[in-house]
Amino acid sequence: MVKDRMVELLQDHFELNLYEARAYVALVAFGVLTPAELASVSEVPAPRTYDVLRSLEKKGFAISQPGKVNKYRPVHPKNILEKFIEEWQERVKEELELKRKAKNELIELMTPLIETEIPKYGVERVWVVRGIRNSTLKTREMLEDVKKEILLADDGYIAINLEEEIAQAAEKGVGVKIVVTRQILPRLQATKIMDLYKKGKIELKIVENMELPMLICDEEVFFALEDMAARYFNYETQVWIKDFRVVNLFKGKFNEYWEKAEKA
């Protein structure tokens, strides 16, 4: 029903609870209502109508007319909804600024801890990463820290979703070789990766399929363990290893792909 959709939108996007949303829709429909009238024409329980109408007035969605029995009329939707969005934008700006300041302060406070991590704890060389969000964070970190070389054998995720990081590395002079499966090549056509390939700043080849996608950045390698069920639920297990011996083994596999691949 249209009424239910209006109530849903007011709840989901304009910070009204169920009874407030129902009351505002009733006010818009009937124009002016007393608390008793509101209870009779809406699904707001009679004991709650006074509180709900006062709350709507406080939030700017209604105006009251004092009298023996208070009457309420709605603020026009165009006015209050636009005003809400403007105020929400300001709140978001302030919250973003506070989060940026908090981030900068945390980095400043944590830098001494990071700098002393190696002598205190040694160097971790193997990590298991689960979930698409964590995998994205780890691969982004690798691409941002790479100094010399990126080797990417990709069957559909990294090249498309982390094109900015790959492009930035290439622009800094990092050598980039990418092998992708043929099925995802069309999705790369409008990306920075394809632009850089055409300019000769990265190398790009295609293969029909690959059994072991991987990302190699200098002496780090990141790859997924095969688990179709986990991949379906975006909880695929990824492994990160920092060891030149292991990386050399993966480079051998990457070179196999590279040799049999054809130019994009």
215 and 151 together in one domain: yes
Q: Are 70 and 40 a contacting pair, CB within 8 Å? A: no
Q: Tell whether the model's pLDDT for residue 124 goes beyond 70.
A: no
Task: Note the pLDDT of residue 227.
Answer: 62
Give the least confident one: 194-203, 219-228, 253-262.
219-228
User: What whole-number distance in Å separates Cα of residue 137 and Cα of residue 108?
Assistant: 20
Q: How many CB atoms lie within 10 A of CB 91?
A: 10
Confirm if 206 and 189 have CB atoms less than 8 A apart: no
Under DSSP, the state recorded for 162 is T
CATH code where residue 142 lies: 3.30.870.10
> 121 exposed, middle or buried (CB, 10 Å; 0-12, 13-18, 19+)?
exposed
Coil vs helix vs strand at 157: coil
Is the same domain home to 134 and 198?
yes
Do 130 and 250 belong together in one domain?
yes
Check whether residue 167 and residue 235 sit in a common domain.
yes
pLDDT number for residue 68: 81
> pLDDT grade, residue 65 (50/70/90)?
confident
Place of tokens 């590395």: 169
Residue 35 placed within a domain: yes
> Looking at residue 122, what is its pLDDT?
46
Instruction: Please report which confidence band the pLDDT of residue 235 belongs to, taking 50, 70 and 90 as the band edges.
Output: low
Sequence length of the chain is 264
Q: CA–CA separation, 200 vs 33, rounded Å? A: 70
Structural domain that includes position 245: 125-263
pLDDT band at 116 (very low <50, low <70, confident <90, very high): low
Sign of CA dihedral 122, 245, 167, 159: negative
The stretch 49-70 carries a mean pLDDT of: 91
Percent of the chain at pLDDT exceeding 70? 92
- List, for residues 141-186, the tens digit of each pLDDT value: 899 889 999 999 988 777 777 888 999 999 899 999 999 988 888 8
Kindly tell me if the per-residue pLDDT of 120 is higher than 50.
Answer: no
pLDDT tens-digit map of 21-53:
999 999 999 999 999 999 999 999 999 999 999
Closest CA to 241 of 138, 147, 156: 138
pLDDT at residue 240 tops 70: yes
Q: Are residues 49 and 147 in the same domain?
A: no
pLDDT tens digits, residue range 74-98?
A: 999 999 999 999 999 999 999 999 9
Domain edge (last residue) among 15, 45, 75 = 75
Distance in angstroms (rounded) separating the CA atoms of residues 199 and 187 = 19
**How far are the Cα atoms of 127, 226, 232, 239 from residue 235, in angstroms, in the given order?**
15, 11, 8, 13
On whether residue 243 sits in a domain, the answer given is yes
pLDDT at position 212:
87
Residues 40 and 148 grouped into a single domain: no
pLDDT at position 111: 81
In a shared domain, residues 171 and 257: yes
Domain count, the chain: 2
Together in a domain, 144 and 240: yes
pLDDT of residue 129: 81
Distance from the first to the final alpha carbon of the chain? 52
Whether residue 18 is predicted with pLDDT greater than 60 in this model: the reply is yes
Residue at 179 is within a domain: yes
In a domain, 107, yes or no: no
